[in-house]
Amino acid sequence: MDPIWKNRLIFAGAAALAVFIGWQLADGGYALASLLVAGLGLLALVRWRSEPLVALVPGALIFGYIVGNRGFAQLSPTQSLPLLPGEIGLGISLLALLVTGAFRHRPPIRIDLLGLLILGWLAIGLARLVPDIRQYGFLAVRDFAMVYYALFFFVAQEAARDLAGRRFILGAVLAGTALLLPLSSAFNANPDFFLNTLTVHGVPLIYYKGDLLGTFMAVGAVVFFVWQSERPRWWATGLSVALMAGTVACTSRAAMLGLLAATALLAAGGRWRLARLEVAVGITAAVAVALTAYLGHQSWRSTPLHDVYDGVISLVDVNGEHQYQGDLTANKGDNNRFRSVWWRTVFEETVQDGPWLGLGFGHDLTAAFMRIYQPESDEDYFVRSPHNIFLTVFARQGLLGLSLFAGIAAGLVVRTWQTVRRPDWSAAAWPWCGACVVLVSASLGVVLEGPMGAVVFWTLFGLGNGAFITRSEAPPPAPLPAGQPPGPA
């Protein structure tokens, strides 16, 4: 085609699109304009940065979910369709994955044993979803989100091929978790500003969910420490300690358990420095708080140390029989009873009505529990997941889905341990350790059922596995000719 006519056609199309978008804006429609701006921004970012799109989008989402949390998760360019950041980012990432594979003449995804388990889990979920949509409609799709977010695993595996992509996602995790310290303090000091002023179309840009805030602080504490282990940096160690303190201050037992699980995995692989640091920091803080209370003639029960003690005790107080008297821990016993009753109810209902394929996506996992726990209440309870990802998977997909998901979790633990034992462990272990923190936290909270925790988890999981596969695919070094020394004389 003649270049002049080509330019004229492009100009005419752009002018028509501009007129149409202007007409939409005049009518109050922002969806198309927002998508166009986002697309142009991504194009500019791709041309400016050296990282591939399959790393840029998950990295941007991780940063948004860590910093903005529930507020960022609810942003949407249109009110008529549920086009949320996770779904938009997943669509762009999958398209980039297909295009990258086509241009480089290779399959869009790499499949090993973990990949096969995840694909099998996705397949079972899809098979379960088809009849559930007919019965429950959009509710089934919403519950199915915990399954389709696993596609970020394969996107991150592709991003792991490129060193710049891995560094970009690492930077997103480090920057996001570091910002949690000042932003969460500001949010607690002035929530009205964040909830009513810092908004987009009435939706808060930053809105913290307590258990996720603690989980992301725990992720940051582990990632900062592991990342700088080979080349220690005093400021990174300081941020790791500060994020540990933030995790404890959130009094989220799920987050603290995730931090302890990652520490135990590192210790099992022979890396004891994080455990020693936590013990030293814990003893120092406890002595300082106790000494301050003693000099101030206060009981230790009135100090934050007692809240930490209650939080630790509550981890093993399954039936909520201990008496909790701290301002931050007074409801721990009720929470434990709440979970134990709900878990038992969901388990029994699933065993009775759908042990192999589950109760399905869209089924209300709350109704039977509320009839037992609060039979006199006539209020609607909108939380649909019983605060345990394994029990949620069992209820939705039955024993078949649970067995595959348990295999995925076991693969995560085994490969984390294998990576930690390597001589060059520091650069490779941080995504594995971060994913372990999120998974353990999801065993006591609603974490992987929504995008805030799921996108972070599956991206870190896929990034670690992609680097693991890339390393195993690397050809061994060529043997030296006979008689040639291995290095310079």
pLDDT tens track for 369-411: 888 877 766 666 667 789 999 999 999 999 999 999 999 999 9
Inside any domain, residue 14: no
At residue 156, the pLDDT reads: 96
| Residue 382 domain-assigned (yes or no) | yes
How far is the C-alpha of 355 from the C-alpha of 340, rounded, in Å? 20
Helix, strand and coil content of the chain, in percent to the nearest 5, comes to: 70, 0, 30
In the block, tokens 């977010």 appear at: 149
- 65: tokens are 């979910």
Give the per-residue pLDDT at 108.
85
Q: What is the pLDDT of residue 487?
A: 46
Q: Of 362, 356, 367, which Cα lies nearest the Cα of 397?
A: 356
Q: How many domains does the chain have?
A: 1
In angstroms, the CA 283 to CA 305 distance is 11
Tell me if residue 199 falls in helix, strand or coil: strand
Residues 84 and 197 sit within 8 Å (Cβ to Cβ)? no
Q: Which residues on neighbouring strands pair with residue 200, listed in sequence order?
A: 203
Task: State residue 248's pLDDT score.
Answer: 86
What are the mean pLDDT values of the chain's consecutive 10-residue runs (489 residues total)?
A: 67 69 63 60 56 87 96 80 85 87 83 96 96 94 96 96 92 97 95 92 89 95 93 92 92 90 95 94 82 72 66 59 58 71 93 95 89 69 83 97 98 96 91 97 93 97 94 60 50
Instruction: Record the tokens describing residue 342, joined without a space.
Output: 């709900």
Please give the pLDDT value at position 295: 74
| Helix extents (H) in 269-384 | 273-295, 304-314, 332-353, 367-373
Q: Which of the 8 DSSP states describes residue 44?
A: H
194 vs 196: CA distance, rounded Å: 6
Asked if residue 11 belongs to a domain, the reply is no
The Cα–Cα gap between 71 and 94 comes to: 24
User: Per DSSP, which regions of 346-440 are E strands?
Assistant: none
In the prediction, which pLDDT does 488 show? 44
Residue 17 maps to a domain: no
161 within a domain of the structure (yes/no): yes
Burial of residue 486 (number of CB atoms within 10 Å: 0-12, 13-18, 19+)? exposed
Residue 6 domain-assigned? no
- Give, rounded to a whole angstrom, the gap between the first and last alpha carbons of the chain: 62
DSSP string spanning 351-362?
Answer: HHH-TTT-S-TT
Whose tokens are 């490129």? That residue is 162
| CA 376 – CA 31 distance, rounded (Å) | 44
Which domain, by its residues, includes 76?
32-472
Nearest to 405 by CA among 465, 448, 348: 448
Q: What would you measure as the largest C-alpha separation in the chain, in angstroms? A: 89
Asked whether residue 22 is assigned to any structural domain, the reply reads no
Distance CA 307, CA 218 (A): 18
Give 97's strand partners.
none
pLDDT at residue number 27: 65
Strands (DSSP E) found in 391-466 = none
pLDDT score at 251 = 78
Task: Kindly state whether residue 51 falls inside one of the protein's structural domains.
Answer: yes
Helices then strands, each counted (H, E), the chain? 20, 2
Closest CA to 217 of 249, 191, 188, 189: 249
Burial of 474 (0-12, 13-18, 19+ CB in 10 A): exposed
Residue with tokens 């790499």: 110
* The amino acid at 256: M
Q: Provide the 3-class DSSP secondary structure of residue 207.
A: strand
